[in-house]
Amino acid sequence: MITLFQTAGSILAGAGSFRSVAGQIRSQLGSVRRALLVTSPSIRRNGWAEELRKQLASTGIVADILEDDIRPEPAAGDIESMHAKIGGETFDVYIGLGGGSVLDATKLLAALATNNRPLESMLGTDNIENDGIPTVLIPTTSGTGSEVTPNAIVTLPERQLKIGIVSRRLYPKLAVLDPELTLTLPKAVTAATGMDAFTHALESFIGRKANPISDMFALEAIRLISGSIIEAYENGSSIAARSAMLYGSAYGGMALAASGTAAVHALAYPLGGRFGIAHGVANAMLLPHVMEAQLDAVASRLSLAAEAMRQGTGSIGDCSNDAGTEAEWALEQLAEWTRRVGIPQNLAEYGITEPDLPSLAESASHVTRLMDNNPKSFTLGELERIYRKLLPVEGI
């Protein structure tokens, strides 16, 4: 298999690295006079956007903070309206400071600035013609790994869909991994985004496009996240756990960039597009059930992932265990984590009922970019059955 691995131009990492962002921008991007800072309400409230604006000013870079805040799971139309408001103003760099929603929006705003076309025409793979404005991406969740991927996901409310835009032109010039920025994550966001990161690693590892480069990042992401997700959830102020989660998330993104996600993500998209379920929550709900539904096809890879999970959690395995037993142990762990970190297990909580399942399955089956990477080809009936696992019958 031939693999092309790409990632962010440079990566600045470590606790406190946020305080060196301006200096790095200077040394990585050369002559920068104006920056546009894209962010979200939680980040404004934490004071980080203003802190970064001042830091940039001290190195002679004038930064405007985009007036409109990015909302979670951004809609294509909202990003286009923001682009229209920016109008003819020119910036040397766009800086995204926030969760995956902010980072994806920043990538797309930068692409819109140099490609005079609607986002709709960029959907899918390799549909961006020109390089965008250079970007710097600073994640505050752990996370999507968007800071190291060529992906940006948009919601299309009128079509009740979420769709990916994938292009090498979306890689940032600089990614900054500072775990201190994730210390304020609420428990529910820690849980959902952490499980999303784990899903990136596991799906990249079991997927048909898995290769030696993606395997390396995926296994290390699995090890790191396994060893820290419960601690990050229960003790959010642990910088060690937050740090492991942020590296795990970035490595998950690198695995995803070299391989790709699969059926869990494909099934999650319609839950987000039609019912507004947050990306991480949808993936976390689905992950154990999708793996269980394809245990035969993934047992040997899942048993290797189990080894990395055992390394992360420090849990001793029995070396006489065969691949099937280890894969089942991994499944039990996933189900246990989702319980411990409070991932909802009932789609009815989001207004989904039995009659919605056939159309949800149909929508998921159309996400061929991801379904084609899945080890097992699911029939529509099998996809429905996976969703049905999350609609427990009352009284049973």
**Under the rule (CB under 5 A), what is the footprint of Fe ion?**
196
Residue 73 Cβ vs Fe ion, minimum distance, rounded to whole Å: 11
Of 134 and 273, CB closest to Fe ion: 273
Residue 249 contact among Fe ion, ligand NAD, none, beta carbon within 5 to 8 Å by kind: none
Residue 73 Cβ vs ligand NAD, minimum distance, rounded to whole Å: 4
CA-closest candidate to residue 70, choices 111, 109, 102, 117:
102
Of 279 and 301, CB closest to ligand NAD: 279
Residue 181 contact among ligand NAD, Fe ion, none, beta carbon within 5 to 8 Å by kind: ligand NAD
Residue 146 contact among Fe ion, ligand NAD, none, beta carbon within 5 to 8 Å by kind: ligand NAD
Of 148 and 327, CB closest to ligand NAD: 148
Of 37 and 386, CB closest to Fe ion: 386
Residue 271 Cβ vs ligand NAD, minimum distance, rounded to whole Å: 11
Helix/strand/coil (H/E/C) assignment for every residue in the chain:
CCCCCCCCCEEEECCCHHHHHHHHHHHHHCCCCEEEEECCHHHHHHCHHHHHHHHHHHCCCEEEECCCCCCCCCEHHHHHHHHHHHCCCCCCEEEEEECHHHHHHHHHHHHHHHCCCCHHHHCEECCCCCCCCCEEEEECCCCCCHHHCCEEEEEEHHHCEEEEEECHHHCCCEEEECHHHHCCCCHHHHHHHHHHHHHHHHHHHHCCCCCHHHHHHHHHHHHHHHHHHHHHHHCCCCHHHHHHHHHHHHHHHHHHHHCCCCHHHHHHHHHHHHHCCCHHHHHHHHHHHHHHHCHHHHHHHHHHHHHHHHHHHCCCCCCCCCHHHHHHHHHHHHHHHHHHCCCCCCHHHHCCCHHHHHHHHHHHHCCHHHHCCCCCCCCHHHHHHHHHHCCCCCCC
Of 227 and 272, CB closest to ligand NAD: 272
Residue 7 contact among ligand NAD, Fe ion, none, beta carbon within 5 to 8 Å by kind: none
Residue 178 contact among ligand NAD, Fe ion, none, beta carbon within 5 to 8 Å by kind: none
Of 73 and 196, CB closest to Fe ion: 196
Residue 270 Cβ vs Fe ion, minimum distance, rounded to whole Å: 14
157 and 118 Cβ atoms separated by less than 8 Å: no
Residue 343 Cβ vs Fe ion, minimum distance, rounded to whole Å: 14
Of 50 and 92, CB closest to ligand NAD: 50
Residue 343 contact among Fe ion, ligand NAD, none, beta carbon within 5 to 8 Å by kind: none
Residue 74 Cβ vs ligand NAD, minimum distance, rounded to whole Å: 6
Residue 72 contact among Fe ion, ligand NAD, none, beta carbon within 5 to 8 Å by kind: ligand NAD
**Position of tokens 């102020």?**
237
Residue 384 Cβ vs ligand NAD, minimum distance, rounded to whole Å: 23
Residue 52 Cβ vs ligand NAD, minimum distance, rounded to whole Å: 14
Contact residues toward ligand NAD (CB under 6 A) are 40, 42, 72-73, 98-102, 104, 140-141, 143-146, 149, 151-153, 162, 181-182, 184-185, 189, 193, 196, 279-280
Residue nearest to ligand NAD (CB): 99
Q: How far apart are CA 323 and CA 311, in angstroms?
A: 16
